[in-house]
Amino acid sequence: MKSIISNINKVFESRIRLGIMSVLMVNPEYDFNSFKETLDLTDGNLASHLKALEEKGMITTNKQFIGRKPNTSYSATETGKSEFSEHLKALENLIKDL
Amino acid sequence: MKNDLNSFEDIKVIRKMMEESTRFLSLSGLSGVFAGVVSIIGAYLVYLFILDNGAIEFSTYLSGLTDPNYPVSGWLLIVDALTVLGLAITFALVFSLRKARRDKKKFMTPISLRMLLNLSIPLFTGGVFVIALVLADQLLFIVPCLLIFYGLALVNAGKFTFSEIFYLGLLEIIIGLVALFVPEWGLIFWLAGFGVLHIIYGAAMYRRYER
């Protein structure tokens, strides 16, 4: 039993983080406001999850200016991508054993 | 058990997010139905007023247009075609904007812009190509080429929206290619490609995603 669970990653346990990582797996870059809309979250809630993922080295932040407006976008790191793939495989295995 | 159900829900969330962040999902099936109906009405008006209720063959009419001694002008056909195009585009936008508002989604997103760009490149190419056909007096080939380039545009844009659009594009291309070899039946292929296919696809997509 332990072997199946072992790949389930604590960092991705929250649905919101799962959502963030899913988006970044299929988009090379995604900005804060688009995240807010896709995931339907408040600023504070989204920011705290993004920060947690960044601290774990799963995503990186790119701050830039579009005209005069500051724009923050995020990308998944290589570590983030491979850890998320492992997590996904583990989830699929759990379901297969049902 | 609770954990297993959670994993199932997790995977659903992942799929949903991956799809929503890479595809433009505000396209409404009603747009297709409306475009189909307008195309059929447009073709019927051509049959009624330009082809004199079937007394004149479509191909005879088209070849007549390039004959300086032929009494009929092509303006009515051009006005008819542009009106159909304008109405179809306007209502495609109206229905899709309405769907976006209902789903509380933004209409202008990086994805929708990418989709529009991918749609417009083949369409623009087709437009220029058709203008060249007109200048070269090759009017019979206009309808087949419109179908082919429209199909290519849909295939191209299909990557950024519902996958049905990709298959609709393939069918439009096939109809257009067949029409190339029997161009005198242009009006029939117009009805099939722009009328019937749009209605079938639009209605099916409306039932599947919007009810």
Q: Measuring CA to CA, which residue among B101, B78, B196 is closest to residue B147?
A: B196
Could you write out the DSSP letters of every residue in A26-84?
H-S-EEHHHHHHHHT--HHHHHHHHHHHHHTTSEEEEEEEETTEEEEEEEE-HHHHHHH
Kindly determine whether residue A37 and residue B10, on different chains, have CB atoms separated by under 8 Å: no
Chain B: closest CA distance from residue A78 (Å):
18
Predicted pLDDT at A66: 79
- Mean pLDDT across A51-57: 93
d(CA B161, CA B153): 12
Kindly determine whether residue B7 and residue A91, on different chains, have CB atoms separated by under 8 Å: yes
Residues 6+ apart with CB under 8 A from A19: A38, A39, B13, B14, B17
| Residue B109 touches partner A, C-beta closer than 8 Å | yes
Q: B3 pLDDT exceeds 70?
A: no
Chain A: closest CA distance from residue B10 (Å):
7
The segment with the largest mean pLDDT, out of A17-26, B5-14, B104-113, B194-203, is B194-203
| Residue B108 touches partner A, C-beta closer than 8 Å | no
- Mean pLDDT across B47-51: 90
- B136 or A40: which leads in pLDDT: B136
- Report residue B106's pLDDT band, with 50, 70 and 90 as the boundaries: confident
pLDDT per residue as tens digits for the range A19-43: 999 999 998 889 898 898 888 888 9
For residue B95, what are the β-bridge partners? Answer: none
Which of A38, A74, A89, A92 is the best residue to mutate to test the B interface, defined by the most B CB atoms within 10 Å of its own CB? A38
pTM metric for this prediction: 0.80
